[in-house]
Chain A
Amino acid sequence: MLEVDRVSVAYGDLQVLFDVSLRVREGELVVLLGPNGAGKTTLIKTIIGLLKPKSGSISFLGMRIEKLSTSEIIKLGIAIVPEGGGLFPSMTVKENLLMGAYASKEARAKVKDSLEAVYNLFPTLKERANQLAGTLSGGEQRMLAIGRALMSRPKLLILDEPSLGLGPKLVVTVLTMVEKIKKDEGLTILLVEQNARAALQMADRGYVIENGRIVLEGTAEDILKEEYIKRAYMGGL
């Protein structure tokens, strides 16, 4: 579904991604692991069109997208939950969700149904529909961010460290939510995470990126078994 082929990205003269290749097939949950500063968010921004690659190509459903604008890419069916959630704090829960349907005419036409579906998935959001997003708790905010991404009925959902900054219990809650979405909605998911073990246990395949380069790829099982991953990302167990 998504093919990133030898993409290199630079901020001016500073190159941050070097020949990165990554693939997400339909129905898969693919995990992208890596330490801070490895280039995970840069890659996500490039996929969604906020950054343009110096070289390489990105295809979605067979169409080249690396030169398209963000709004065109979203219309094709990609939705993103950015790092930290990217909520609009002075707008209500409902208004944040409505913004999720902004990008395409189809999404706007179906907005009432999408809203119902998201409320069914996350009843807490329905309860707090008229509350300002900035007043929600950390876990609820992540829930809202994910719900908002679902409003555009995407084919590919990209989540950039959804558990970032949350306490251990909430990390479990959020990752469980992601797993549930994959099972219930049958979405294809690209999950960027630092919680390697939890993420790999839910995933089909994974990639590890370090210093702008993919250093490991394989099935989730294989990566979990790699000694070096165990040492680097899971506290050496």
Chain B
Amino acid sequence: MEEWPMILNLLIRGLLFGGFLSLAACGLSLGFQLGFINASHGDMAVLAAYISWILLTTFGIDPLFSLVMVSPMMVLIGLILQKLLLNRFLLKGNMDVVLIVTFALGMCIRNSLQILFSANNRSLSQPYMVQGLSIGPLVIPLPYLIDFTIASAMFMILHLFFVKTFAGRALRAVPQNLEAAMMLGVKPETSYIYAMGIMALTQAVFGVLMGSTYVFNPNSGMAYLLLPISAIMLGGLGSLKKTFIGGLILGEILILCGYFIGSEYQLVACYLIALMLILFKPEGLLTRRS
């Protein structure tokens, strides 16, 4: 009976963490469905974390509050990037070039951050965040709850966007039948711009929250890219729901691994899972092989 509360704690934490991870995955998955791979996806989150860190250390602005400022900044950066650079290649169908360009971009971000801030770990964590909430036998670290709640709120907003707005519906339609969508007046460039906007927004929130829950450094971008990719591979492409479930599963696996094997091996576990999936079920656990 001693063991029960611990397992329960782990399972709950896994869900909370997983739900939060899904946030990083949904932007990426949207890009995938429209046909473009943003290799700098993770680095965008790190960039957001550093912007928040500057605001914290220079002006004393609380990280959670800084989200209000960092998000629009990141969205603007993303949109400029998309409009001036990436759309050029996407509209010609050069998807591979986009992969290379975003990869290079990621490297630029990483190295610039390293030069500006050194490779030391930083954290956005604030004293009021470092506590656990006790609910019966459960002890849930507050940051997990904050992360999950904010991520869920964003999911809800995204869901409404995809279901209730013309732009959102168009984004869902394009992967299903591009030519038909174009015949209805959908412009591919507009879709890409919306997708990048969503990516930038979700990554800004993800980056700042990750930064206040754990530590980060200029090279965290790799993990921030690998985790959502694994979540997407677990759940399969195609809908917010699948991405969310993939994230939940990944979260559970990571938390359980972290406890039983050690947190140094969490990313290794992630790599292994990704490898297994590529080998045996590349379309995701939730997708039926057609």
Which residues on A are within 8 Å of B, measured CB to CB? 48, 50, 69-71, 74-75, 80, 82, 86-91, 95, 98-104, 108, 148, 152
Contact = CB atoms under 8 A, between A and B. Distances in A.
Given A50-B179, A82-B180, A86-B180, A69 B173 contact: no
Contact of B180 (A88, A101, A103): A88
B177 A90 contact: no
Given A69-B187, A71-B187, A88-B177, A50 B182 contact: yes
B185 A71 contact: yes
Nearest 9 Cβ contacts at the A-B interface:
A86-B180, A103-B185, A71-B185, A88-B176, A74-B185, A88-B173, A102-B184, A80-B183, A102-B185
Interface residues of B, number: 18
9 contacts: A48-B183, A80-B183, A88-B177, A88-B180, A89-B177, A90-B172, A90-B239, A100-B184, A102-B185
B175 to A, nearest CB: 9
Contacts of B166: 98, 101-102, 108
A101 B173 CA distance: 13
Contacts, number: 64
Contact of B179 (A82, A95, A108): A82
B287 to A, nearest CB: 12
Given A88-B173, A90-B172, A102-B184, 8 more contacts: A70-B183, A74-B184, A86-B177, A86-B180, A90-B176, A91-B172, A98-B169, A102-B166
B75 interface: no
Contact of A91 (B169, B184, B185): B169
B173 A91 contact: yes
B180 to A, nearest CB: 3
Contacts of B173: 88, 91, 99
A48 B173 CA distance: 19
Nearest to B238: A90
B16 to A, nearest CB: 29
Interface in B233-277: 238-239
Contact of A75 (B179, B180, B185): B185
Contacts of A99: 169-170, 173, 181, 184
Contacts of B184: 74, 99-100, 102-103, 148, 152
Given A99-B170, A102-B166, A50 B183 contact: yes
Nearest to B170: A102
Interface in B163-221: 166, 169-170, 172-173, 176-177, 179-187
Contacts of B180: 82, 86-88
Interface string B143-180: 00000000000000000000000100110110011011
A124 B139 CA distance: 54
Nearest to A100: B184
Most B CB within 10 A of own CB, among A95, A104, A108: A95
A88 B172 CA distance: 9
A99 B169 CA distance: 7
Nearest to A69: B187
Contacts of B239: 90
Interface in B63-90: none
A155 to B, nearest CB: 15
Contacts of A102: 166, 169-170, 184-186
Interface in B36-69: none
Contacts of B185: 70-71, 74-75, 102-104
Nearest to A75: B185
Nearest to A151: B184
B34 to A, nearest CB: 14
Contacts of B181: 88, 99
A86 to B, nearest CB: 3
Nearest to B187: A71
B217 to A, nearest CB: 40
A82 B184 CA distance: 10
Contacts of B187: 69, 71
